[in-house]
């Protein structure tokens, strides 16, 4: 099963570091990252922060290792790591993802 992992990071440098590690270790075939604005409650306060979001193209069997790696190198106490199953997509691209993770 193809998956998309969504991860938030505190800054661009962290987004680059995590993206590089995931691709290098073949835990993601490709990672897109971009700036986002986040609003959330933390420690009883409403926070507004600038963050970076990662979209990681991967396979279901890579998810446990991907989560472990992100937790090892992420600066957040509780990093957001959300996984969505991809039921359909461009067959050529999905084939490339699968081949990239071998």
Helix, strand, or coil here: 30? Answer: strand
Identify the band that residue 36 occupies on the pLDDT scale cut at 50, 70 and 90.
Answer: very high
H/E/C letters for each residue in 70-96?
A: HHHHCCCCCCCEEEEEECCCCHHHHHH
DSSP state of 102: -
What is the pTM for the complete model shown?
Answer: 0.94
Parent domain of 41: 2-100
- In degrees, rounded to 5, the angle at the alpha carbon of residue 45 between the alpha carbons of residues 44 and 51 is 120
For the stretch 42-81, pLDDT in tens is: 999 999 999 999 999 999 999 999 999 999 999 999 999 9
Give the CATH number for residue 11. 3.30.70.120
Number of domains in the chain: 1
């Amino acid at each position: 099963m193809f998956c998309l992992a969504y991860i938030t990071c505190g800054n661009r440098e962290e987004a680059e570091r995590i993206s590089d590690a995931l691709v290098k270790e073949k835990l993601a075939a490709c990672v897109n990252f971009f700036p986002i604005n986040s609003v959330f409650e933390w420690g009883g306060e409403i926070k507004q922060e600038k963050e970076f979001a990662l979209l990681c193209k991967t396979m279901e069997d890579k998810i446990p290792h991907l989560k472990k790696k992100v937790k090892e190198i992420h600066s957040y106490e509780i990093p957001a790591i959300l996984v969505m199953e991809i039921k359909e997509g461009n067959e050529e691209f999905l084939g490339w993802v699968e081949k990239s993770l071998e």
